[in-house]
């Protein structure tokens, strides 16, 4: 059995103002992202479906050509291959919890230290 506590997961500095902790199984990845106010958004795509839950804070999330204001408790889906990004608003970080399917091998290699991934 693979088991961890969030406080024991590696904290990865993704870029200025953005950090991540992740935990992966064979077929999916769970990732906690923190976006600090004033971070530079980076629109991107990936081949994974992503389900996002806003844990705390608020901001805007853009998926394709739609932008929504998001706050704690909101959820959204980012389809595979669709351009998307998020921006924290206000003066507190926005924290999200995302599930990726299939597993993010790139996160696994960086966050869990598997050199073969």
Domain boundaries defined on the chain: 11-111
Residue 44's contacts (CB-CB under 8 Å, 6 or more residues apart) are 83, 84, 85
The mean per-residue pLDDT over the stretch 91-116 comes to 88
C-alpha 41/C-alpha 59 separation (Å) is 12
Looking at the DSSP bridge assignments, the partners of residue 56 are 95
What six digits make up the tokens of 20?
Answer: 């991540």
Give residue 95's pLDDT: 98
The mean per-residue pLDDT over the stretch 2-15 comes to 94
Give residue 115's pLDDT: 46
Give residue 117's pLDDT: 43
C-alpha 63/C-alpha 22 separation (Å) is 22
Question: For the segment 50-87, what is each residue's pLDDT rounded down to a tens digit?
Answer: 999 999 999 999 999 999 999 999 999 999 999 999 99
Give the pLDDT band of residue 114 (cuts 50, 70, 90).
Answer: low
Residue 92, SS3 per DSSP: coil
Query: Does the 11-111 domain belong in CATH 2.60.120.10?
Result: yes
CB 61 within 8 A of CB 33: no
The mean per-residue pLDDT over the stretch 36-40 comes to 95
Whether residue 113 is predicted with pLDDT greater than 80 in this model: the reply is: no
């Amino acid at each position: 059995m693979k088991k961890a506590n969030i406080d024991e997961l590696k904290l990865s500095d993704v870029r200025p103002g953005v950090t991540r902790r992740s935990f992966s199984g064979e077929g999916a990845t769970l990732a906690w992202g923190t976006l600090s106010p004033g971070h530079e958004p980076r629109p991107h795509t990936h081949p994974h479906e992503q389900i996002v839950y806003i844990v705390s804070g608020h901001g805007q999330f853009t998926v394709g050509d739609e932008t929504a204001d998001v706050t704690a408790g909101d959820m959204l889906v980012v389809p595979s291959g669709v351009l998307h990004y998020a921006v924290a608003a206000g003066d507190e970080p926005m924290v999200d919890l995302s599930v990726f399917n299939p597993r993010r091998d790139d996160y696994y290699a960086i966050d869990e230290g598997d050199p073969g991934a």
